[in-house]
Amino acid sequence: MFILSVHTCQFVSGMATLVRMRASRLLSILMTLQARGRVTAQFLADECAVSLRTIYRDIDALSAAGVPVHSERGAEGGYRLLDGYRTRLNGLSSQEAESLFLGGLPGPMQALGLGAVMAGAQTKLLAALPVELRSTAERMRSRFHLDAPAWFSDADEPAHLPSIARAVWEQHPLEIRYQSWKAEKFRRIEPLGIVLKSGAWYVVGRVGQDVRIYRISRILELNLLDETFERPLTFDLAAYWQDSTQRLSEEMHASEATLRLSPWGMRMLDVFISPFARSAAIVGEPDPTDGWRTVTLPVGSVRQACAELLRFGTEAEVLAPPELRAQMSEVAAALHRRYAQ
């Protein structure tokens, strides 16, 4: 009796899965017909990854359900819906429909392993839109593109990203071997979210009672565990990330420097100095004789500040602190000796 019950449950479960798969496929076929007008059976078979015979059966099922699918023969033939028939997605304004197509992020979605899912969702959305909104949504998708990495920087292509995305979604803990700045580390983390920042992917995970951030491209090995964990109900990924980046900026700019900048140096300030430092900078009035200004802004360590301010060349002069001015002088003298040879 027990064996029979198990087999029966497996059979019922399998049948339910098949029903769900077919229902999803029928909906996909319907939306494709709405979005594209006329399509061939072969095109539908390729899109759904099934045989032509299966597509023929699905078209018969749609017709039996009252969907007016019309078959056309010949070289230009195929299937199409009768004019005027469509399922509708009501309540969207033109701007709302356009914004949905801006959220596609094809590159990041592809990296997460969801490129096909996003493409399918956009096809269904496009098919469900009224005709007057469909053209504006298509125009929005064709005229705007998001390139996430910063200038002159390569985007991360971490091999473990799809597995981490699955662990975040299904709440599976991870065992990782991670290359930090100092050494390799082994950690067991409970992934709470993924963040894309300037082309780099990060996973935010709980380690014990702490929440930490790991750059995914530095994860050397990963093991997704079968067990699950309870996600903290009060955890807000966006708020945590904002607080963390603010704390990091403050820690990296714990000191202060005063310098003089030429008019050209003031223009370079926007390029070479971080937004955090620029927002906290105190800028004096220009000198009436040469236009130079005195600027006080937060900086990091002496070594870090020296490296940043050297990019200004002769358009900047460090006034304080004395140790930073001495470091700048020492580096300038060493460069002079090297190039004087």
Per-residue confidence (pLDDT) for residue 21, from 0 to 100: 62
C-alpha–C-alpha distance, residues 294 and 316, integer Å: 10
pLDDT band at 99 (very low <50, low <70, confident <90, very high): low
pLDDT band at 14 (very low <50, low <70, confident <90, very high): very low
Buried b (16+ CB within 10 A) or exposed e, 230-259: eeeeeeeeeebbeebeeeebeebbeeebbb
Comparing CA positions, the residue from 25, 13, 99 lying closest to residue 55 is: 25
Per-residue confidence (pLDDT) for residue 178, from 0 to 100: 92
Per-residue confidence (pLDDT) for residue 118, from 0 to 100: 60
Per-residue confidence (pLDDT) for residue 2, from 0 to 100: 35
Residue showing tokens 């704390």? 247
Per-residue confidence (pLDDT) for residue 31, from 0 to 100: 77
* Mean pLDDT of the region 51-73: 84
Condensed to tens digits (0 to 9), the pLDDT of residues 224-273 reads 999 999 999 899 999 999 999 888 888 888 899 999 999 999 999 888 88
- From residue 324, give the alpha-carbon distance in Å to each of 52, 71, 83, 258, 299: 74, 79, 76, 10, 10
- Percent over 70 (pLDDT), the chain: 71
Question: Contact, 166 vs 214, CB < 8 A?
Answer: no
Is the pTM above the cut of 0.75?
Answer: no
The SS3 of residue 154 is coil
CB atoms under 10 Å from CB of 319, counted, come to 14
Condensed to tens digits (0 to 9), the pLDDT of residues 297-317 reads 999 999 999 999 999 999 999
Per-residue confidence (pLDDT) for residue 139, from 0 to 100: 66
Amino acid (one-letter) located at 312? F
Q: Assess whether the region 2-81 and the region 161-250 belong to the same CATH fold.
A: no
DSSP E strands, the chain: 69-72, 78-81, 174-179, 184-197, 200-207, 210-215, 219-224, 255-261, 282-283, 293-299, 316-320
* Tokens coding 266: 């003031």
Spans of all domains in the chain? 2-81, 94-143, 161-250, 253-340
Comparing CA positions, the residue from 148, 149, 238 lying closest to residue 195 is: 238
Condensed to tens digits (0 to 9), the pLDDT of residues 122-138 reads 666 666 666 655 666 66
* Mean pLDDT of the region 47-56: 87
* Mean pLDDT of the region 104-132: 61
Backbone phi, psi, residue 94, to 5°: -60, -45
CB atoms under 10 Å from CB of 101, counted, come to 18
Give CATH for domain 2-81: 1.10.10.10
124 contact partners, CB below 8 Å, separation of at least 6: 27, 28, 31, 35
- From residue 7, give the alpha-carbon distance in Å to each of 4, 10, 17, 201: 5, 5, 15, 44
Please say whether the structural domain 161-250 has been given the CATH code 2.30.30: yes
Per-residue confidence (pLDDT) for residue 11, from 0 to 100: 35
Condensed to tens digits (0 to 9), the pLDDT of residues 146-194 reads 666 667 667 677 889 889 988 998 999 999 999 888 889 999 999 999 9
C-alpha–C-alpha distance, residues 290 and 313, integer Å: 17
pLDDT band at 8 (very low <50, low <70, confident <90, very high): very low
> Does residue 12 surpass a pLDDT of 50?
no
> Does residue 211 surpass a pLDDT of 70?
yes
C-alpha–C-alpha distance, residues 273 and 156, integer Å: 24
Per-residue confidence (pLDDT) for residue 62, from 0 to 100: 82
Please say whether the structural domain 253-340 has been given the CATH code 1.10.3470: no
Question: Contact, 15 vs 67, CB < 8 A?
Answer: no
C-alpha–C-alpha distance, residues 7 and 122, integer Å: 39
Among 14-18, 53-57, 278-282, 322-326, where is mean pLDDT lowest? 14-18
Comparing CA positions, the residue from 184, 246, 249, 194 lying closest to residue 221 is: 184
* Mean pLDDT of the region 314-330: 95
Question: Contact, 143 vs 47, CB < 8 A?
Answer: no
